[in-house]
Every structure is written in structure tokens, then in C-alpha cells.
């Protein structure tokens, strides 16, 4: 079975910063070298899906939806014909403008060359969902969505939608689209990719803050920044003033393995949920913090109690309770580290991507076989 997965690096600003920092090295990269380098950043889901599916016998590949990667992919596909191809698409655009025409051309030709059995599109990549219907008679068209519904995205354009959010699963089911809960997880390789140099931070957070998307989380973080030794990295909303306590505790954007290192270096890591989760604890941060082996301090959620044993994490009710628990666990190192170790063991045993992909392997093959009677004559 062949799977082609389309993904992005989020936040995009982080990728642009890393590209600028490494511009001299990257300039000579081909597509495969660039892909390996981007994967090594460990942003978002990195190669956690494709790596583990390969170990199960799949031919699986990542396609990173970014300008530079498109450039490298186009050079690989068209080689000496690249200038002619670009000119041809530019001429078409002059007659009948189409947004992202060049990207669409590259995607179509790349997919035709790869001949996937499954096209897997994760989160928001900027390509309208109806684009993928072009391959509906040749591949199982799958999306994974746990963020806000993207622009020009319809659940009806997919054969199957994976989500970690129960609210979304119910919404898709109402629209008569096959939808399945696909839990977030943790890739155990990360444990050996971070340094273990001791805890240098008391209390940290990596993620977005700002009232437009994270009002409740931001209000809680403001209180914590004023009442604890709180440090954070991530997307900073324009509504956070420079004199605000959050600005004073802000340290820029981090993602991927650098974010994992912050978690590893932290005694306690804060977690809260965006409004879209509707009080359900599903975000990737939960699995990353526990998996890397640090203490997770997360807002109370009923589903947390159902999923995780009480000795694997700590929950808070409101900002005052959160601050009190920060102060308590900073003073009680032995208890703090025991809970963190319990959390890591539980994640590795129950939410390791190695095992999650075994379930995905079975499910994708089942859905593919239901859709296609003739396995060989699709391409």
C-alpha cells in the first residue's frame, strides 16, 4: 500500500526563521535532503505517521506544503522542462486566473507520479478540499482535522475524516461523512533526541495566546504571569500589549524539537484548551509533555479523568488553583518527578505512535478495500 501525506510546519513563522538561519546549507539541498531536514525539526506530527507506517510495510512519504518544498519538488519532476512548465502555467493564469495554479499543477503531477492508494491531508494546508476530488476514482481521500474548519474546506469532499475532537466527529457524522477518533500520541524517538541537562525552568508554556482564539487560556496565563515564575513561547496575539505581564514573560516562537527541549527542561508545563475544544482535553501538548517526562499541569476536563490515571498528571480548576499547585509542586520535587515518570510510562505504553499506526494501518486498508474492488487498474 502507498500513502502520500500532505502537511505543513506550524507556525509558519518558525519554519521561515529556521530557513533563514540555515539558508546557506539549505541552498544546495535537493528535495529529499530538504524533506529530511524539515522532518528533523520535529514540528507538528513530523514523520510520526509515515515512519511508523513504513515499518508496517507501507510505502509512505511526506509532502511539505511550503514554497521552498514546492520549488524542490517541481525541479525533481520536470528537471530541464521546469522553465517551460512555469511559463505554460503563467500563460494559462493570464487567460483565466486561478489561485495557486502552479501549486496545483505540481501537486497533480507529483501525485500521478507517486500513484498513492491513500492521500492523507492533515490540518490546514491552503489547498481547497475539492481539489482532492480529482483523484477520487484512484485513491482513498483522507483528512485529519482538529483545528478550526479551514477556508474552502468541506467535509463532503473526503472519503474519511480523522479527528481527535469528539465535537468534530459528531459534526461530521451528522453530515453523513465517515469520521473516526484518531488520538494524538507520542513518538518515543524524541526521548533520545533531547538533552537531559536538568531542569532550568520552573513553569512554562509553549503555544498561542491572544483573545481572538484563546480568550480563556490567555486570561489564565495573564494571572499566572503575574503570580508565578511563568515563561512562554509561541504565537503572540496582537491584543497582548507590550506592558502586559505576558509580554514580559514572552520568549519568542519555538516549535518541534526545540519545544520538546523546553518541556524536558521544565519542572512544570502548563496546558489549557482552545475554545474550539469545548472543554474537551485533546490537544497534542498533553501527550508531548507527558511523553517527554515532565509534569503536566492541565485544566480540569472530564475526559482527562477517563483517559489518564490520576497519578500521571495534575489538573487545576481555575487560575488561582493553578498558581497554588505550581507553588506546591515546585517545593515537592520527589512527588512532582514521580507523577511525571508515571505519565511518561503511561503515554509510552498506551499512546505510542508505533501502536497508533498499527490501528491506522488496519483501518485504512479496510476503507480502501471497501471503496475499490479493482486494486490494480486505478492509475
The pTM for the full model equals: 0.93
**Same-domain status, 297 and 239:** yes
* DSSP letters spanning 299-359: E--HHHHHHS-GGG-EEESSHHHHHHHHHHHHH-HHHHHHHHHHHHHHHHHHSBHHHHHHH
Mean pLDDT for the stretch of residues 343-365 = 97
Co-location of 104 and 171 in the same domain: yes
Residues 50 and 114 in one domain: yes
The whole-number pLDDT of residue 303 equals 85
* C-beta separation of 241 from 247 below 8 A: yes
Record the cell numbers describing residue 37, joined without a space. 531536514
Alpha-carbon gap, residue 353 to 105, rounded angstroms: 33
pLDDT at 168 over 70: yes
Describe the strand order of the beta sheet including 140-144 as a list of residue ranges. Answer: 59-64, 2-7, 118-122, 140-144, 160-163, 179-181
Domains held by the chain: number: 2
User: Does the structure show a pLDDT above 80 at 276?
Assistant: no
Q: 204 in a domain, yes or no?
A: yes
Does any domain span residue 57? yes
pLDDT of residue 274: 64
In a shared domain, residues 236 and 347: yes
**How would residue 283 be classed by pLDDT, with cut points 50, 70 and 90?**
confident
Three cell numbers written together for 91: 500563460
Whole-number pLDDT of residue 281: 64
Same domain, yes or no: 250 and 312: yes
What does the alpha-carbon distance between residue 7 and residue 17 come to, in Å, rounded to a whole number? 18
Domain check: are 118 and 197 in the same one? no
Residues 9 and 104 in one domain: yes
212 and 93 together in one domain? no
Identify the three-state secondary structure at position 280: coil
For 55-70, how does the pLDDT look when each residue is reduced to its tens digit (9 = 90+)? 999 999 999 999 999 9
123 plus 215 within the same structural domain: no
**Range(s) of the domain holding residue 285:** 188-351
Instruction: Give the pLDDT score at 204.
Output: 98
What integer pLDDT is reported at residue 273 of this predicted model?
83
Q: What pLDDT digit, counting tens, does each position of 157-166 carry?
A: 999 999 988 8
Residue 214 · residue 275 · CB < 8 Å:
yes
Q: Quick check: 279 and 305 in contact, CB under 8 A?
A: no
Pair (171, 205) in one structural domain: no
Q: 179 and 38 in one domain?
A: yes
In the chain, what percentage of residues exceed pLDDT 90?
Answer: 79
Say if 140 falls within a structural domain: yes
CA distance 254 to 237: 15
The predicted structure's pLDDT at residue 202: 98
What is the per-residue pLDDT across 85-144, written as a single tens digit (0 to 9) for each? 999 999 999 999 988 899 999 999 999 999 999 999 987 788 899 999 999 999 999 999
With bands split at pLDDT 50, 70 and 90, how would you rate the model's confidence at 324? Answer: very high
Amino acid at each position: 500500500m502507498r500513502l502520500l501525506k500532505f502537511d505543513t510546519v506550524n507556525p509558519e513563522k518558525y519554519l521561515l526563521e529556521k530557513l533563514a538561519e540555515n539558508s546557506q546549507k539549505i541552498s544546495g539541498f535537493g528535495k529529499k535532503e530538504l524533506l529530511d531536514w524539515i522532518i528533523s525539526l520535529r514540528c507538528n506530527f513530523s514523520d510520526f505517521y509515515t515512519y511508523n507506517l513504513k515499518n508496517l510495510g507501507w510505502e509512505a512519504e511526506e509532502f511539505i506544503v511550503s514554497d521552498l518544498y514546492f520549488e524542490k519538488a517541481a525541479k525533481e519532476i520536470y528537471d530541464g522542462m521546469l522553465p517551460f512548465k512555469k511559463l505554460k502555467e503563467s500563460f494559462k493564469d493570464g487567460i483565466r486566473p486561478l489561485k495557486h495554479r502552479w501549486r496545483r499543477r505540481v501537486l497533480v503531477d507529483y501525485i500521478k507520479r507517486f500513484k498513492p492508494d491513500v492521500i492523507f491531508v492533515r490540518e490546514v494546508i491552503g489547498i481547497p478540499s475539492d481539489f482532492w476530488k480529482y483523484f477520487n476514482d484512484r485513491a482513498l481521500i483522507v483528512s485529519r482535522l482538529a483545528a478550526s474548519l479551514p477556508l474552502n474546506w468541506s467535509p463532503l469532499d473526503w472519503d474519511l475524516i480523522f479527528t481527535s475532537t469528539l465535537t468534530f466527529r459528531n459534526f461530521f457524522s451528522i453530515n453523513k461523512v465517515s469520521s473516526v477518533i484518531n488520538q494524538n500520541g507520542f513518538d518515543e524517538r524524541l526521548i533520545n533526541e533531547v538533552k537531559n541537562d536538568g531542569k532550568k525552568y520552573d513553569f512554562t508554556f509553549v503555544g498561542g495566546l491572544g483573545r481572538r482564539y484563546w480568550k480563556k487560556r490567555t486570561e489564565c496565563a495573564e494571572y499566572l504571569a503575574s503570580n508565578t515564575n511563568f515563561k512562554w513561547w509561541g504565537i503572540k496575539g496582537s491584543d497582548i500589549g507590550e506592558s502586559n505581564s505576558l509580554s514580559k514573560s514572552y520568549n519568542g516562537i519555538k516549535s518541534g524539537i526545540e519545544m520538546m527541549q523546553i518541556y524536558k527542561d521544565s519542572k512544570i508545563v502548563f496546558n489549557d484548551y482552545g475554545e474550539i475544544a469545548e472543554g474537551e482535553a485533546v490537544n497534542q501538548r498533553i501527550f508531548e509533555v507527558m511523553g517527554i517526562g515532565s509534569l503536566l499541569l492541565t485544566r480540569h476536563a472530564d475526559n482527562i479523568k477517563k483517559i489518564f490515571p490520576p497519578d500521571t498528571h495534575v489538573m487545576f480548576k481555575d487560575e488561582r488553583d493553578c498558581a497554588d499547585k505550581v507553588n506546591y509542586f515546585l517545593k515537592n520535587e520527589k512527588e512532582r518527578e514521580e507523577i511525571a515518570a508515571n505519565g511518561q510510562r503511561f503515554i509510552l505504553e498506551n499512546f505510542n505512535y508505533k501502536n497508533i499506526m498499527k490501528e491506522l494501518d488496519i483501518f485504512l486498508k479496510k476503507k480502501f478495500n471497501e471503496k475499490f474492488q479493482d486494486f490494480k487498474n486505478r492509475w
